[in-house]
Structure 1
């Protein structure tokens, strides 16, 4: 069980699309706006974990054409989220992003977040500590996971919101938003390279 807790902690503190988007929303729109996104992210994460635990995700990902379509949708949506963060409050682009990313965006992100599937597969297929009671093991893993996952994401959201509260100039805030968006894109393209 201790190994599971350590694995959860280290898998979650490494920045992935969920963490970077959460921090970016905090920096671009503030803490309260980010909470709506985070609730969607949390529910989407739970559903993703259930897809992995049930084996449905493994079955779906064995179909090469479907896997390609999902990968394309994933990259497209993550690029869209990066654009929304980068253009928040800026007068650049075709249409500045003036409304924060909300619950639905958080929910959808988890379905196409490659790190969510990797983390769920690692945690739920490994670290067996109750082989005689697999349902209880899954329930305990979900509780432990969320006891770490939620505070980690709240800290990232608060860090992003803190940047927003610093009363930085519009130019500096724009640079921070763009850096958050570029960081998200770097993670996306690193995941693409790793998946090949």
Structure 2
């Protein structure tokens, strides 16, 4: 029961895509990388929250040149990720079916 409670509490904390990525990292890589991922989510979320609450984000985005630079960096990052996804080789292959469907008594339709 404690394991279940721990899993629920760790998934409630980072809501939205953070919780989904937490499940993916835990199931794919194990508990220790998952805990590092959770700490990173926690730190990143709280730093962004602090930047918004203190007005630092409004101060930075109020000046035109940093706003344009951040927009360019964001577009470059998203473009890079989109290119990586689009150009990645698929590990899934279509398999052609060569056998005819059979009825349980062995006859073909």
TM-score (norm 2): 0.45
Identify the structure with the greater helix proportion: 1
| Rg comparison, structure with higher value | 2
